[in-house]
A = this chain, B = another copy of it.
Amino acid sequence: MGLRERKKLATRTALSWAAIRLIVERGYDGVLVEDIATEAGVSPRTFNNYFSSKAEAVASRHLDRCLQVVEALRERPAGEPLWEGINQAVMAQFKQTLEQFKQTAEMADRPPRDAEAWAAGLRLMTAVPAIQAETLRASAVAETALAAAVAARTGTDPEADLYPKLVAAAVMAVNTVTFKHFVAVGGRLPDMKAMLIGALRQLAAGLPEPPR
Contacts and interface: CB of A to CB of B under 8 A. Distances in A.
Contact of A206 (B82, B129, B204): B204
Contacts of A14: none
Interface stretch (A60-68, A69-77, A163-171): A163-171
A174 interface: yes
A133 interface: yes
Contact of A162 (B82, B198, B208): B198
A206 B209 contact: no
Interface string A143-182: 0000000000011100001111111011001101100000
A55 B130 CA distance: 11
Contacts of A155: 210
Interface residues of A, number: 41
Contacts of A52: 129
B199 A166 contact: yes
A21 to B, nearest CB: 23
A133 B54 CA distance: 14
Contact of A170 (B161, B170, B204): B170
Contacts of A195: 162
Contact of A134 (B133, B154, B174): B133
A3 interface: no
Nearest to A154: B210
A182 to B, nearest CB: 14
Q: Which 6 A-B pairs have the closest CB atoms?
A: A206-B206, A169-B173, A136-B136, A133-B133, A133-B137, A163-B210
11 contacts: A52-B129, A82-B209, A129-B137, A133-B136, A156-B210, A162-B195, A162-B202, A163-B210, A166-B207, A204-B207, A205-B208
Interface of A: 52, 55, 82-83, 129, 132-134, 136-137, 139-140, 154-156, 161-167, 169-170, 173-174, 176-177, 195, 198-199, 202-211
Given A55-B133, A132-B137, A165-B177, 5 more contacts: A133-B133, A166-B199, A169-B176, A203-B207, A204-B207
